[in-house]
Amino acid sequence: MVVKRGIRLCGLAAVLGVFGYAHVPTLVIPEGVTADSLVVHKHDRTLLVYAEGMLVKTLPGSLGFEINNKQKEGDGRTPEGRYRIVGRNPQSGYHRALRISYPSADDQRVAQAHGQNPGGDMMIHGLRNGFGWIGRWHRVADWPAGCMAVTNREIKELWQAVPDGIPVIIKT
């Protein structure tokens, strides 16, 4: 009887630990801070948020499921280069989305030189609608088809702090 109760308590603790990891808040971007640039480091799977040239937040995330530079539509890769935030979609299939200005003129030239369509619709977004409960666990694998995904709580922070027009630099 005592053993069964101990096993149940261990199971409950494990479930609560998994849920806690997925949803316990991290440090937030201070209210009133306006970001002036974003830098994505693909190798580290991080998004750095800068305001007045100072790092104010580092967000881990998930990227395209293929690590190399994006070359064509549907390749599952996250692009590399200098872009801008050019809009936002509050009605996205993912919990909010900040649109990145991919493809650039250079991206289009490279793709066309190889007879390819460069693709588009690159975003920084939250989790697929209805799956917000996954929280930080989405980071166990790269799953977006080229975009960068963060938790729903994190995209809400970015939504408030990131104005349209700021640069987004995506590096290897």
Q: Would you tell me how many other CB atoms lie within 10 Å of the CB of residue 152? A: 21
- Residue 161's domain comprises 2-171
- Nearest C-alpha neighbor of 135 from the set 38, 60, 30, 57: 60
Q: Residue 84: which CATH number?
A: 2.40.440.10
Q: Residue 136 and residue 100: Cα distance in Å, rounded? A: 23
Which residues is 124 bridged to in the sheet? 98, 148
- Looking at every residue in the chain, the average pLDDT score rounds to 88
pLDDT of residue 16: 46
pLDDT, one tens digit per residue, over 102-124 is 999 999 999 999 999 999 999 99
Q: Is the dihedral of CA 102, 108, 114, 116 positive or negative?
A: positive
- For residue 26, the model assigns a pLDDT of 62
Read off the pTM: 0.84
Tens of pLDDT along 30-88?
A: 889 999 999 999 999 999 999 999 999 999 999 998 888 898 999 999 999 999 999 99
- Whole-number pLDDT of residue 30: 84
Mean pLDDT of 123-144: 93
Domain count, the chain: 1
Residue 25 pLDDT exceeds 80: no
Q: In what order do the strands lie in the sheet with 97-100?
A: 54-60, 46-51, 37-41, 167-171, 81-89, 97-100, 123-125, 148-149
